């Protein structure tokens, strides 16, 4: 089975021709402005046409991963949180049929990535998994008994970064306060760091404030960096316990750019959840995702194979 896959992020789109668990060809598009989706679609269409021309076999359809809340049952974008604000008004399935003559399944990008990891990555053979993506934001997605959790409005399990972890905390982009994302995400890190006592004397004051530099400065013994790192690790670990108590997974999976420091992050979270999560049946496994930027693309096959009448 050959399919086309699109993984649409805030500033880029990865497009690929996929067969089974192999990416045959790919193109990456970069966008200067992600305010609206309509101006982006012609470039995506052109890329998909080029990929179609590489295949002498029929293409079964398009799996389209979108960086927002998606109702996959009815194939529409429910909410975008500021990116591609026109997407809820677009019929992407009709666009795919009219422009490319192919059926399209729309899915949240994090759910599509989890499908990829369960199909061809670190969660193969697992049926009860929570996956977090630690990066600019904190993405979350849940699979229960082999099926992605969606809920009535398409947002169940998708807001793992917006679990409150701090009473009267910082305002978050989602409208709430004290979210995990507003305390320990890439966009929040400069705010958290600059508010930290003695920040001005820290190595962090002289470098770009990102997680790579945070973990590097902490490893070099900078006290403020170590304290901020501990703060972030604890937020991620608390969020993990909340997910375990909410969704009963057997595996916690972690991906995203922050996982360059997986040797520090994973043991910390594993130790924390083994001490604090109430799991009378045993211990939750904590793993690093394997597929990186390929995860959502490789989730295309299982998404398109899914029978719509069985989606819940």
Domain boundaries, the chain: 2-115+294-310, 126-289
Reading the block at residue 74, the tokens are 């009815």
Residue 308 pLDDT exceeds 60: no
Give the 3-state secondary structure of the chain. Answer: CEEEEEEECCCEEEEEEEECCEEEEEEEEECCCCCCCCCCHHHHHHHHHHHHCCCCCCCCCEEEEECCEEECCCCEEEECCCCCCCHHHCCHHHHHHHHHCCCEEEEEHHHHHHHHHHHHCCCCCCCCEEEEEECCCEEEEEEECCEECCCCCCCCCCCHHHCECCCCCCECCCCCECEHHHHHCCCCHHHHHHCCCCHHHCHHHHCCCCHHHHHHHHHCCCHHHHHHHHHHHHHHHHHHHHHHHHHCCCEEEEECHHHHHHHHHHHHHHHHHHHHCCCCCCCCEEEECCCHHHHHHHCHHHHHHCCHHHCC
pTM of the model: 0.88
Q: Are 55 and 89 contacting, i.e. CB atoms less than 8 angstroms apart?
A: no
CATH number of 126-289: 3.30.420.40
Domain at 2-115+294-310, CATH from 3.40.50.920, 3.40.50.10860, 3.30.420.40, 3.30.930.10: 3.30.420.40
pLDDT, mean of residues 272-276? 97
C-alpha to C-alpha distance for 203 and 220, rounded to whole angstroms: 9
Q: Are 138 and 161 contacting, i.e. CB atoms less than 8 angstroms apart?
A: yes
Residue 134 pLDDT exceeds 90: yes
pLDDT of 29 reads: 95
Residue 80 pLDDT exceeds 90: no
Which residues have CB under 8 Å from 147's CB, separation 6+? Answer: 312
pLDDT, mean of residues 272-279? 97
pLDDT of 312 reads: 43
Residue 121 pLDDT exceeds 60: yes
Reading the block at residue 135, the tokens are 């990066």
pLDDT of 229 reads: 98
pLDDT of 136 reads: 86
Mean pLDDT of the chain: 93
Between 230 and 82, residue with greater pLDDT: 230
pLDDT tens profile 175-232: 999 999 999 999 999 999 999 999 999 999 999 999 999 999 999 999 999 999 999 9
pLDDT, mean of residues 126-144? 93
**Of 40, 45, 97, 101, which is closest to residue 67 (Cα–Cα)?**
40
C-alpha to C-alpha distance for 268 and 261, rounded to whole angstroms: 11
pLDDT tens profile 44-74: 999 999 999 999 999 999 999 998 889 888 8
pLDDT of 311 reads: 45
C-alpha to C-alpha distance for 267 and 286, rounded to whole angstroms: 8
Reading the block at residue 58, the tokens are 């029929």
pLDDT, mean of residues 282-308? 91
What are the angstrom distances between the C-alpha of 278 and each of 152, 159, 246? 27, 22, 11
Positive or negative CA dihedral for 93, 94, 97, 98?
negative
pLDDT of 159 reads: 86
C-alpha to C-alpha distance for 298 and 121, rounded to whole angstroms: 9
Q: Are 191 and 166 contacting, i.e. CB atoms less than 8 angstroms apart?
A: no
pLDDT of 96 reads: 97
pLDDT of 281 reads: 96
C-alpha to C-alpha distance for 298 and 16, rounded to whole angstroms: 9
C-alpha to C-alpha distance for 144 and 126, rounded to whole angstroms: 10
Residue whose structure tokens are 């059926």: 103
Residue 307 pLDDT exceeds 60: no
What share of the chain has pLDDT > 90, as a percent?
Answer: 81
Residue whose structure tokens are 């979210």: 179
């Amino acid at each position: 089975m050959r399919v086309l896959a699109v993984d649409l992020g805030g500033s880029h789109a990865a497009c690929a021709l996929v067969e089974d668990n192999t990416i045959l060809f790919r193109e990456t598009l970069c966008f200067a402005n992600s305010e609206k989706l309509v101006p982006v679609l012609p470039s995506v269409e052109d890329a998909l046409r080029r990929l179609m021309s590489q295949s002498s076999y029929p293409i079964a359809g398009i799996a389209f991963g979108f960086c927002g809340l998606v109702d996959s049952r009815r194939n529409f974008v429910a909410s975008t949180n500021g990116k591609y604000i026109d997407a809820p008004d677009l019929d992407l399935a009709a666009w795919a049929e009219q422009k490319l003559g192919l059926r399209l399944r729309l899915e949240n990008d994090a759910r599509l990535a989890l499908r990829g990891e369960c199909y061809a990555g670190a969660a193969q053979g697992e049926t009860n998994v929570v996956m977090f993506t630690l990066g600019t934001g904190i993405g979350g997605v849940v699979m229960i008994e082999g099926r992605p959790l969606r809920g009535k409005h398409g947002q169940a399990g998708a807001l793992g970064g917006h679990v409150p972890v701090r009473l009267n905390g910082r305002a978050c982009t989602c409208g709430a306060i004290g979210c995990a994302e507003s305390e320990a995400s890439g966009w929040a890190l400069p705010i958290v760091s600059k508010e930290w006592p003695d920040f001005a004397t820290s190595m962090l004051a002289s470098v770009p404030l990102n997680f790579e530099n945070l973990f590097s400065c902490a490893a070099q013994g900078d006290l403020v960096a170590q304290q901020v790192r501990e703060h972030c690790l604890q937020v991620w670990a608390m969020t993990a316990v909340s997910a375990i108590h909410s969704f009963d997974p057997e595996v916690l999976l972690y991906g995203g750019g922050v996982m360059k420091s997986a040797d520090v992050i994973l043991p910390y979270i594993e130790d924390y959840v083994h001490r604090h999560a109430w799991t009378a049946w045993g211990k939750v496994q904590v793993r690093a995702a394997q597929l990186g930027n390929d995860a959502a693309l490789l989730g295309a096959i299982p998404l398109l194979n899914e029978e719509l009448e069985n989606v819940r």
